[in-house]
Amino acid sequence: MTVSNGCSTTVKGYFLAVFPGLDDLIETLRRRGKNPVDEREARSVDTFLTELARLERPFDEHADPVHVTASALITGIRGVILLKHKKLGIWVQPGGHIDEGETPADAAVRESVEETGLPVSLLKNQAVQVDVHPGPRGHTHLDIRFLCTVPDDDPRPPEGESQEVFWFGWPQAIEMADDGLRGLLIARQP
């Protein structure tokens, strides 16, 4: 059975159990689709909505190789924080998998704190971009991105996390960033 937002009742039940804002998430995706930062995001929104309708446990990275993740565009006076992904070797924003009971915004902040060693603050509890991209181990990430800030301190990533985490000026960040992030950086640069 499919409900009005295009998700099966099984998916809706799972989402409501771990993330009560299912309707808000779908509405956010629809809004992002009306005003995407670039063509890549427009395609990502379509894919995201299609996959949400298919996935029974969309936040569970072990349930399906396609799953929802969350990340943060961290900005400040010094520019943008990027990290070199340990497995993929590309420059990206901090982020990762959503733990059970977390909202995507909570996961973006938690992952950013873990990866930068800095106190991360969410600027708005509203997605600034969505992107669908390949992840490690043949996975596909349906990534929801949030705008965050930190003090102007140097990142201090803990052991086990990528040690290549730095502030970059906007032009350099745009040049270095992964293709999926570049459009957001261009749209957000001061």
In the predicted model, what is the mean pLDDT of residues 65-71?
Answer: 95
Does position 170 have pLDDT exceeding 90, yes or no? yes
pLDDT bin (cut points 50, 70, 90) of residue 3 is: very low
Domain extent at residue 123: 59-188
- Residue 118 or residue 15, greater confidence: 118
Flag whether 150 is in a domain: yes
Flag whether 149 is in a domain: yes
Does position 126 have pLDDT exceeding 70, yes or no? yes
pLDDT digits 0-9 by tens, 128-147: 999 999 888 899 999 999 99
Flag whether 175 is in a domain: yes
Residue 117 CB contacts under 8 Å (≥ 6 apart), including other chains: 155, 156, 157, 158, 161, 165
In the predicted model, what is the mean pLDDT of residues 78-82?
Answer: 98
Determine which of 58-62, 92-96, 129-133, 150-154 has the lowest per-residue pLDDT on average: 58-62
Beta bridge partners of 68: 142
Instruction: Please calculate the CA angle 129-177-106 and round it to the nearest 5 degrees.
Output: 40
Flag whether 22 is in a domain: no
Residue 102's pLDDT is: 87
Residue 10's pLDDT is: 53
CATH of the domain at 178: 3.90.79.10
Residue 17's pLDDT is: 54
Q: How far is Cα 162 from Cα 44, in angstroms, rounded to an integer?
A: 27
Total domain count, the chain: 1
Beta bridge partners of 165: 83
Flag whether 40 is in a domain: no
Residue 186's pLDDT is: 96
Residue 80 DSSP class: E
Flag whether 49 is in a domain: no
Flag whether 2 is in a domain: no
Flag whether 50 is in a domain: no
Work out the widest C-alpha separation in the chain, in whole angstroms: 51
